[in-house]
Amino acid sequence: MPVISRFYGLVIKMYFMQSEHNPPHIHALYGEYMGIMDIQTRKMIAGDLPNRAAKMLAEWVEIHEKELMQIWETQNFVELPPLE
pLDDT digits (tens, 9 = 90+) for 8-67: 999 999 987 665 678 999 999 999 999 999 999 999 999 999 999 999 999 999 999 999
Total structural domains within the chain: 1
> Within a domain: residue 26?
yes
> Within a domain: residue 40?
yes
Neighbours of 39 (CB within 10 A): 20
Q: Are 25 and 41 in contact (CB under 8 A)?
A: no
> Within a domain: residue 70?
yes
> Within a domain: residue 29?
yes
- Residue 21, pLDDT score: 78
- Residue 19, pLDDT score: 59
> Within a domain: residue 81?
no
**Residue 77 amino acid letter:** F
> Within a domain: residue 39?
yes
- Residue 18, pLDDT score: 60
> Within a domain: residue 57?
yes
DSSP 18: T
Residue 38, domain extent: 3-74
Instruction: Kindly report whether the global pTM for this prediction surpasses the value 0.85.
Output: yes
